[in-house]
Structure 1
Amino acid sequence: MRFLLTILIFIILSDTSFAQTSSGKGKISGTVIDAITKEPIDFATITVFKIGTKEVVNGISSDAKGNFTVSGLPNGIYRVSVDFIGYKATVFDPVTISATAPTVTLGTILVVSTVDQLQSVTVTAKTPIIENKIDKTVYNTANDLTAQNGVALDVLKKVPMVSVDIDGNVELQGSASVRFLINGKPSSIFGASLADALQSIPASQIKSVEVITSPGAKYDANGTGGIINIVLKDNKFQGINGSINYSVGTRLQNGSLNLNIKKGNFGAGVFFSGNQQFNTMSKNTLDRISYNSARDTISKFFQDGNSPQKRASYQTGLNLNWSISSKDELTATLGYNHFNNNTTGVNSQIQEYLLASSGKTISDLKSLRNSSSNFSANSTDLSLAYKKTFNKDGHELDFLYNASFGNNLVNTSQVSTYQGGNFPTTGLNSSNPGKENETEISVNYALPLNKKFTIESGAKVLIDNLNNSVVTDTLLSTGSYINNTNQSYGFNYRRNVYAAYLSASFTLFKDFITGKAGIRYERTGKVADFSGTEIAGYNTFAPSFTLQHKLDDSQSIKLSYTYRIERPDYGDLNPFYNISDPHNISTGNPLLKPEIGNNFELGYSKNFKNGANIYFAGYYRRNSDDMQQLTTYYDILSINGTDYDAVSLTKRLNLGNQTSVGASLFASVPVTDKFNLRTNIQAGNRNNVSPGLAGVSAFSYRANINASYDFGNNLLAEVFGNYNSTQKNLRSTRPAVFNYSLAVRKQFLGKNASIGLTAANPFNRYIKQRQTSFGPNFDQTNLRMVPVQSFGLTLSYKFGKLQFNKDSREDNAPQLPDVGAGK
Structure 2
Amino acid sequence: MKRYVFTLSFGALFGLSHGYAQVPTDSLSVQPVAADSTQPAAPKNPVVTGFLVDSTGGKPVEFASVALFNRSTNQLVTGTVADGKGQFTISNVSPGNYRLQISFVGYETKSIEPLNVIQDVTLGVIKLSGDSKTLQEVTVTGQKALIEEKVDRLVYNAEKDISSKGGDASDILRKVPMLSVDLDGNVSMRGSSNIRVLINNKPSTIVASSVADALKQIPADQIATVEVITSPSAKYDAEGSGGIINIITKKNNLQGFNLNLDTGVGNRGANLGLNGNYRQGKMGFTLGGFGRAEYNVKTLSTLDQTSQVGGNTLLSRQRGEGMSRGLMGRYNLGWDYDISKNQSITAGIRYGLRNRNVDQDYLTELFTNGAMTGTQNRNVTTKNNSGTIDANIDYLHIFKPQQEWSVSALYSRNDMVNNFDADLLSGESLTGRQRNLNDNVNQEFTLQTDYQTPIQKNQMLEFGLKGIMRKVNSNYEYLLAGPTGNYFPQENNPEGFLDYNQNIAAGYASYTYTTKNKYTFKVGTRYEYTAIDARSNTDASIAIPNYSNFVPSVNISKALKTGMVKLAYNRRIQRPGIQQLNPNFNAANPQNVTMGNPLLRPELTDNVELGYSNTFNKAFFNAAVFGRFTNNSITQVRTPLDTLAGAILTTFENIGSEHALGVNLFFKYDLSSKFSLDFFTNSYYTKLQGTTTGLDGLSINIENSGFNVDFGSRLQATLGKGWGIQGFGMMRGPQVQLQGRMAGFGFYNLGIRKDFANKKGSIGIAAENFLASNIRMKTELTSPQFTQVNNMYMYNRGVRLTFSYKIGKMSMQAPRRRTKSIQNDDVKDGGGTDTGAGMQNGSGGQPSGGTPSGGAPAGGGKPTTSPKK
Deviates more, 1:664-673 or 1:427-436: 427-436
Deviates more, 1:184-193 or 1:77-86: 77-86
In structure 2, the residue corresponding to 1:220 is in which secondary structure? coil
Deviates more, 1:743-752 or 1:517-526: 743-752
Q: Could you say which residue in structure 1 is the equivalent of 2:393?
A: 384
Partner Cα distance (1:472, 1:767) in 2: 35
Structure 1 contact 443–820 (Cα < 8 Å) conserved: no
Partner Cα distance (1:259, 1:420) in 2: 53
Structure 1 contact 187–404 (Cα < 8 Å) conserved: yes
Find out whether 1:660 has 2:652 as its counterpart: no
Deviation string for 1:689-721 (max 9, x for gaps)? 324424212101100100122332221111110
Find out whether 1:181 has 2:198 as its counterpart: yes
Partner Cα distance (1:86, 1:584) in 2: 59
Deviation string for 1:500-543 (max 9, x for gaps)? 100011113x3341121100111111112123222222111100
The residue type equivalent to 1:207 in the other structure is A
The residue type equivalent to 2:204 in the other structure is S
1:350-369 alignment, distance < 5 Å: 350-355=364-369, 361=371, 363-369=372-378
Partner Cα distance (1:446, 1:507) in 2: 16
The residue type equivalent to 2:632 in the other structure is D
Structure 1 contact 173–682 (Cα < 8 Å) conserved: yes
Structure 2 contact 209–577 (Cα < 8 Å) conserved: no
Q: Could you say which residue in structure 1 is the equivalent of 2:14?
A: none
Find out whether 1:410 has 2:425 as its counterpart: no
Deviation at 1:298, TM superposition (A): 2.5
The residue type equivalent to 1:631 in the other structure is R
Deviation string for 1:29-54 (max 9, x for gaps)? 98978799xxxx99644545776779
Find out whether 1:438 has 2:444 as its counterpart: yes
Change (3 A) 1:772 1:87: closer
Q: Could you say which residue in structure 2 is the equivalent of 1:775?
A: 783
Partner Cα distance (2:426, 2:500) in 1: 40
Partner Cα distance (1:241, 1:493) in 2: 45
Partner Cα distance (1:287, 1:512) in 2: 59
1:91-130 alignment, distance < 5 Å: 112=125, 127-130=144-147
Partner Cα distance (2:77, 2:154) in 1: 33
Partner Cα distance (2:294, 2:426) in 1: 34
Mark the runs of 5 or more structure 1 residues left unpaired by the alignment: 1-14, 72-76, 96-103, 116-124, 638-643, 809-813
Partner Cα distance (2:194, 2:122) in 1: 57
1:631-650 alignment, distance < 5 Å: 631-634=638-641, 636-637=642-643, 644-650=644-650
The residue type equivalent to 2:279 in the other structure is K
The residue type equivalent to 1:722 in the other structure is M
Change (3 A) 1:149 1:84: same
Change (3 A) 1:462 1:743: same
1:190-209 alignment, distance < 5 Å: 190-209=207-226
Structure 2 contact 51–88 (Cα < 8 Å) conserved: no
Change (3 A) 1:257 1:306: same
Structure 1 contact 379–406 (Cα < 8 Å) conserved: yes
2:756 to 743, 748, 751: 748
Deviation string for 1:93-123 (max 9, x for gaps)? 999xxxxxxxx9x9997753759xxxxxxxx
Q: Could you say which residue in structure 1 is the equivalent of 2:607?
A: 599
Change (3 A) 1:321 1:126: farther
Q: Could you say which residue in structure 1 is the equivalent of 2:509?
A: 502
1:272 to 289, 295, 308: 289
In structure 1, the residue corresponding to 2:719 is in which secondary structure? strand
Deviates more, 1:684-693 or 1:226-235: 684-693
Structure 2 contact 394–819 (Cα < 8 Å) conserved: no
Q: Could you say which residue in structure 2 is the equivalent of 1:811?
A: none
Structure 1 contact 445–456 (Cα < 8 Å) conserved: yes
1:213-612 alignment, distance < 5 Å: 213-292=230-309, 294-295=310-311, 297-344=312-359, 346-355=360-369, 361=371, 363-391=372-400, 393-418=401-426, 425-476=431-482, 479-484=485-490, 486-508=493-515, 510-530=516-536, 531-532=538-539, 533-551=542-560, 553-610=561-618, 612=619
Partner Cα distance (2:534, 2:773) in 1: 46
Deviation string for 1:592-631 (max 9, x for gaps)? 2211100001111112333x21111110111111111011
Partner Cα distance (1:629, 1:697) in 2: 15
Deviation string for 1:133-165 (max 9, x for gaps)? 122111111111221121111101001100011
Partner Cα distance (1:18, 1:82) in 2: 19
The residue type equivalent to 2:237 in the other structure is D
Find out whether 1:817 has 2:830 as its counterpart: no
Change (3 A) 1:286 1:238: same
The residue type equivalent to 2:319 in the other structure is D
Instruction: State TM-score, norm by structure 2.
Output: 0.80
Partner Cα distance (2:268, 2:487) in 1: 37
Deviation at 1:768, TM superposition (A): 0.8
The residue type equivalent to 1:817 in the other structure is K
Deviation at 1:69, TM superposition (A): 10
Change (3 A) 1:820 1:577: closer
Change (3 A) 1:419 1:755: closer
In structure 2, the residue corresponding to 1:646 is in which secondary structure? coil
In structure 1, the residue corresponding to 2:613 is in which secondary structure? strand
1:610-759 alignment, distance < 5 Å: 610=618, 612-634=619-641, 636-637=642-643, 644-691=644-691, 692-759=700-767
Structure 1 contact 85–804 (Cα < 8 Å) conserved: no
Structure 2 contact 573–603 (Cα < 8 Å) conserved: yes
Identity %: 29
Deviates more, 1:62-71 or 1:326-335: 62-71
CA RMSD, 1 decimal: 3.6
In structure 2, the residue corresponding to 1:693 is in which secondary structure? strand
Partner Cα distance (2:449, 2:250) in 1: 25
Partner Cα distance (1:334, 1:78) in 2: 53
Change (3 A) 1:501 1:139: same
Structure 1 contact 501–519 (Cα < 8 Å) conserved: yes
Change (3 A) 1:78 1:466: farther
Structure 2 contact 343–395 (Cα < 8 Å) conserved: yes
Deviation string for 1:369-421 (max 9, x for gaps)? 01111121111111111221123x21111221122122222231112234699
The alignment covers a number of residue pairs equal to 759
Deviation at 1:55, TM superposition (A): 8.9
Structure 2 contact 612–624 (Cα < 8 Å) conserved: yes
Structure 2 contact 52–86 (Cα < 8 Å) conserved: no
Structure 1 contact 460–821 (Cα < 8 Å) conserved: no
Structure 2 contact 233–524 (Cα < 8 Å) conserved: yes
Structure 1 contact 88–114 (Cα < 8 Å) conserved: no
Partner Cα distance (1:114, 1:703) in 2: 46
Partner Cα distance (1:473, 1:796) in 2: 48
Partner Cα distance (2:110, 2:278) in 1: 30
In structure 2, the residue corresponding to 1:149 is in which secondary structure? coil
Instruction: State TM-score, norm by structure 1.
Output: 0.85
Deviation at 1:804, TM superposition (A): 2.7
